[in-house]
Amino acid sequence: MKRTVSFLLTLIMIFTLAGCSESGNSVSDGAEAVIEGERSYDTTGRYLLSLKTNEAVIDDVSFDCYEGANDTNNLVFYEIFVGSFADSDGDKIGDLRGIIEKMDYLNDGDPKSGESLGIEGIWLSPIFKSPSYHKYDVTDYYTIDESFGTMEDLKELVKCCHERGVKIILDLVINHTGAQNEWFAKFQSAHRHEDTSDEYYDFYSYGDSIKQGNRVFYPISSSDDFYEGNFSGDMPELNFDCEAVREAVLDIAKFYLNDVGVDGFRFDAAKYVYYGETASNVDFWNWYMGELKKIKPDIYCVAEVWDSDSLTQEYSAAVNCFDFSMSQADGMIATAAKLGDVNQYNSYVEKYLNVVKSKNPDNTIVPFISNHDMDRAAGYMTLASGYAKTAANLYILGPGSPFIYYGEEIGMKGSRGSSNTDANRRLRMRWREGEMTADPVGATFEDSKQTNGTVLSQFTDGDSLYNYYKRLIMIRKANPEFYKGEYKAIQLPGTKMGCFTMTYNNSTVTVFQNTGIAPVELDLSTVEGINVSKITDYIGIADATLDGTLLTVGEQTTVIMR
């Protein structure tokens, strides 16, 4: 469906101001192509954008909002840790119906309403029957854990997502199962009886000692054999040399693609399938993705290969992979966001994107700051420092499919801390006082450290991180080149400000990103490889002006030009 009304025009038409507002400063009165921006929010949190240049230019400053949901790659995803997100039945455990109830928060189906975050895809943490709160130890792949709901609830959530143009992918944990899985009971029984003809005898990886190289094995009780369990004794590892196992894991995916209608998967522990054997793993994922693409040609999958780029990129031949080197406190995004050199960041993005494309042109990069296995970003990139916003600028306004970890958009905190528990990284979503799940089992993070408020408190605050994320996603959608375009890093000598272009169908968007705490002036006539005449948007702590060829980008601010 083609949107015919321009993005900008619509926003101006709904210009019914109330509540708080911030406005860009008008600079250089009388100069050609001066830009002035007003960003406002009405009492419901509606985002209003008005960009003004001189009248000769303004007619060109309009956008068709790009509906990226038809893209296989390049969508803005949102990771939901299901048990901590939204509770629908009062037991304080997040569930699938809770997500359905919060769909308007995530995406209300109207790209121009300005009333939802606008994410385009959802990754659900594991939802299959399991004894743990995190559910990475699956008891039964065909049953939704009863604390999360039912298969019918999942189908309704999928329908609800698709009605809004949102993709939904499931966390698929197949390297290992839970110890309570009946497959494991049958495997153990076969070994106790030394019945090598039993169809489950080879179902899991086993050996005759407790340790082989770096692989960890556990004894099978009443047997001389040992089973592989690199993560834990409760997570026995399947044997992918067993044809029946390959069939079983294919059947699971088939069921959720065909019968439930999900759009793809996030593959847990992808490099552990064959422990330490990269070539065998890549072969496996190539085979698996090939089979899944036969079922659903436009499937979107992304794998967890938590390792160095040089290893992870090998898997890019088979499947999209998260870019772990971009994440966490010492990662590429945080480094550049915290007064770092954006030229270096852009060079990295270009180089790594090219590597991924050379491995498989259908795959792309998957930038993110944090996920359920990492300390939350707001702890080391505070809202007060502006880093939370510069980091978001860097990875949301760029190529690939950025993944936002739930609560990142409101600056939720949570770190392992001295109690060394991942539960602290998976705390309850802070909707508002009185409307939150319980924290996961074992969480010790003090509530008083959550100083950035709730969804409710941020909703009507025009300067809030929530409204900032919403605006970033709107800007991304207003520029289809972010989804479809070829990325090119433009080196700017003598400044840490970064520049890149993205070009699609002979249309180019040029982006300048200043993560420093001082404005940067740049004579555009000295920059090779760009061809721009006007600012079409900006987002950041400050604003931007263009006076002739002199571009001034305010502190911690990103500018979009055409």
- Which residues of the chain form contacts with Ca ion (CB under 5 A)? 87, 89, 91, 93, 95, 175, 237, 272
Strands 300-303 and 320-322: parallel
Residues 6+ apart with CB under 8 A from 448: none
Catalytic annotation on 29?
A: no
Catalytic member of 268, 309, 408, 481: 268
Choose between 97 and 496: whose C-beta lies nearer to Ca ion.
97
Burial readout 34-49 (b: 16 or more C-beta within 10 A, e: otherwise) = bbbbbbbbbeebbbbb
Min dist. Cβ of residue 279 to Ca ion (A):
15
Min dist. Cβ of residue 292 to Ca ion (A):
19
What is the number of helices (H) and of strands (E) in the chain?
Answer: 15, 25
Min dist. Cβ of residue 206 to Ca ion (A):
12
Catalytic member of 137, 304, 309, 408: 304
Min dist. Cβ of residue 237 to Ca ion (A):
4
| Coil, helix or strand at residue 162 | helix
Choose between 128 and 538: whose C-beta lies nearer to Ca ion.
128
| Coil, helix or strand at residue 342 | helix
d(CA 436, CA 431): 6
Half-sphere exposure of 210 (CA within 13 A, CB side): 3
Choose between 282 and 490: whose C-beta lies nearer to Ca ion.
282
Catalytic annotation on 433?
A: no
d(CA 423, CA 443): 5
Question: Which tokens go with 140?
Answer: 């039964």
Choose between 57 and 93: whose C-beta lies nearer to Ca ion.
93
Amino acid at 398: G
Min dist. Cβ of residue 336 to Ca ion (A):
35
Choose between 175 and 556: whose C-beta lies nearer to Ca ion.
175
Min dist. Cβ of residue 148 to Ca ion (A):
8
Alpha helices in 80-220 (DSSP H): 96-101, 103-106, 151-163, 182-192
Q: Where is 50: in which H helix or E strand? A: strand 47-52
Min dist. Cβ of residue 83 to Ca ion (A):
8
d(CA 198, CA 247): 16
**CB-based contact 11:112 (threshold 8 Å):** yes
Burial of 485 (0-12, 13-18, 19+ CB in 10 A): buried
How far, in Å, are 115, 130, 424, 480, 527 from residue 397 at the CA level? 20, 37, 29, 11, 21
Choose between 437 and 450: whose C-beta lies nearer to Ca ion.
437
| Coil, helix or strand at residue 49 | strand
Task: Enumerate the active-site residues.
Answer: 268, 304
